[in-house]
Structure formats: C-alpha cells, structure tokens
Amino acid sequence: MTVRERTEEIERQTLSAYACLSQDSRGRERPEEPCPLRPCFQRDRDRIIHCKSFRRLKQKTQVFLAPEGDHYRTRLTHTLEVAQIARTIARSLRLNEDLTEAIALGHDLGHTPFGHAGERALNGLCPQGFAHYLQSVRVVQMLEKYPEGLNLSKEVLNGIACHTRGPEAFTLEGQVVKYADHIAYINHDIEDAVTAGVLHQQDLPREAVRVLGATKSRRITTLISSLVENSADGALRMAPQVYEQYEALHSFMYATVYVDKRAKKEEKKVDKLIEELYGYFKAHPNRMPGQFQQIFAEEGADRAVTDYISGMSDEFAIRTFEDLFVPRGWSLQY
C-alpha cells in the first residue's frame, strides 16, 4: 500500500458520510497517473500554491486601492484567511480538508488588478462580460502553463466556479468555501475600514454586535460555531438569529464602507487606466506576451486582451500604463 493509499484509507475511516473522498473524485479532464504520496485534492492544492497567478495575488487590491500602510489586506492575505476559515469548518464537520483548501486557495486566481473596480471596468469593456470567479476557472484550466492549465480535479474547478454566484457547488467542501469567503471578507474589511478611519466600531449595527460580537475574532468564532453546530444531513446552515445578523452586517458594509468616497476616491482613475490599456493592446496585440498573441489569433482580440489585463498586478498595470502613456524626460547626447 502506497502512502497515498494509506491516506485514502484514513479518509474512508474518519471523514463524514457527506465528505467528498479523494478516491471518489470525478477525475480530471486529462487522466493522470496517481501520485504515490498525495491524494488528488492535495495534489491540486500544491499546484495552485506553486502557480504564478497565486504569487501575483500579493500585489492585487482587496478593497482599499493603493492604501498607505503595511497592514491592509491584499488579495493574497484575503485568500489565506479564507483558507484558514474554510479548513476550520471542514475539520469540524469532518469534511475533506485538502479539497476545501484547494478550492479556497484557487477561488480568486482570476481576480483583476484594483479589486472589484477593475472587475467592473473589464466587465464593461469585454463584449462577453467578465466575472472573476469564471476567470479563475479559465486561469487554472488554460492560462497557467498555457495552454495545458493545471489540470485540476472537477471538484476543485466546480468549487472555484461556484464560490460567489450561481448554483451551489456540488460538494459540501465547495459550499463551505463560499461561506468562508463571505465570513472572511466582511470581517477583515471592517477591520481595514476602522484602520483607514472610514469606519468606527460604534458605527456597526448594535444588534449585529450584540449577536455576533464586538471584535473581528469574536464575530468569526460566532459565525463558524453557528455553522458547525447547525449543519447536519448534508446541509450547511446557521442559527436563524445569527444568519439574520450576518446578512445585516453585509448590508451595512455595502451601504457604507464599499461606497465611501474617501476609501474609493482613487477608483475613479481605474476605469480610465483599464480602458486605455484595453484599447492599446487590442490595437497592438504584438505588444502582449506570446501566449496572449496566440489567444488573440484563436479566440479574438477581446478575449486575449481581457485575459492579459485581468492577470496583471496593480503595480504592473500602473507601470505599463506609465510606460505607454506618460511622457518621460529626455536629454540630448553630445
């Protein structure tokens, strides 16, 4: 028996009847020989961690665009917090932690530079529209190691695609990541907003604070505990009172912080930057890297340019814009 087979046997003996066992995976688009050490979902997790798109998340905006300070979240730190919360829930419910973690680590790989401002800009420019959760699937299916992709399992692909909108993931592990994503961002965005001075603790809805807790740690613990204590028979749910205040907190943030003029003032420039880059590369496809020129030839200009720009980090997008459109000083050489 290999190390992988022993691990799969441990899964059979210890995981819930509602867990997705590694040995029961629906497989990959291209069949592969099993790894002697790692079950399939652990292998997927490792591929995601080592890919270029994962590393670029460290320079992509979460909520606050170009904040001054080292302690604001980036898309990478958000991803790590989602993975931690998701694993805690999965372990408590005896679900497959490797599958849960792989989905969590891959869920935002397709996110644009400049957070949701960049996503809205690309959605308005690309005739096919743009959604980061679908782009994340495209990243792992094709753009990484172009054109082969990472060849992830169908369970991980489905969990990534369903982490935000649309139908629920067909595994409980995928559904856990959707909860974990919401729990993570609503609470760390509150903390970042307080740090930025656009929100004060006393501004939070009183009933939400009473039910969920007055601190980030307390709220996250309450939400996770309620989800674990009330989930049974293959269905995830929170206690009604907790879920009601969880939704109230979301509504409060969307009505205040996410539209705050002080926090969002730099986002007005994002539309212009993305629009100029989009138009330039659409007219000059030879200025894009080779793989995007190939996509240009096979799938058209809009698809290629959208893929290229969505993969940029904030810093690279700004630097590219400056190189293309901002005049530079020069001097005559004698």
In 3D space, the residue among 60, 70, 67 whose CA is nearest the CA of residue 313 turns out to be 60
Residue 197 lies in a domain: yes
Residue 272 lies in a domain: no
Q: Could you tell me if 99 and 20 are in contact, meaning their C-beta atoms sit under 8 angstroms apart?
A: yes
Percent of the chain with pLDDT strictly greater than 90: 89
Q: How many CB atoms lie within 10 A of CB 17?
A: 7
Stretch 163-177: mean pLDDT, rounded? 95
In 3D space, the residue among 157, 16, 158, 173 whose CA is nearest the CA of residue 101 turns out to be 173
Note down the domain range covering 149. Answer: 41-267
What is the length of the chain? Answer: 334
Report helix, strand or coil for 206.
helix
Distance CA 207, CA 188 (A): 19
Q: Could you tell me if 98 and 42 are in contact, meaning their C-beta atoms sit under 8 angstroms apart?
A: yes
Quote the number of domains for the chain.
1
pLDDT in tens, 9-68: 999 999 999 999 999 999 999 999 999 999 999 999 999 999 999 999 999 988 776 556
Residue 54 lies in a domain: yes
Residue 171 lies in a domain: yes
CATH code for the domain of 177: 1.10.3210.10
Residue 310 lies in a domain: no
pTM of the model: 0.96
Residue 2 lies in a domain: no
Cα angle 139, 144, 150; round to 5: 90
Cβ-based burial of 30 (10 A; exposed 0-12, middle 13-18, buried ≥19): exposed
* 235 backbone dihedrals φ, ψ, rounded to 5°: -125, 140
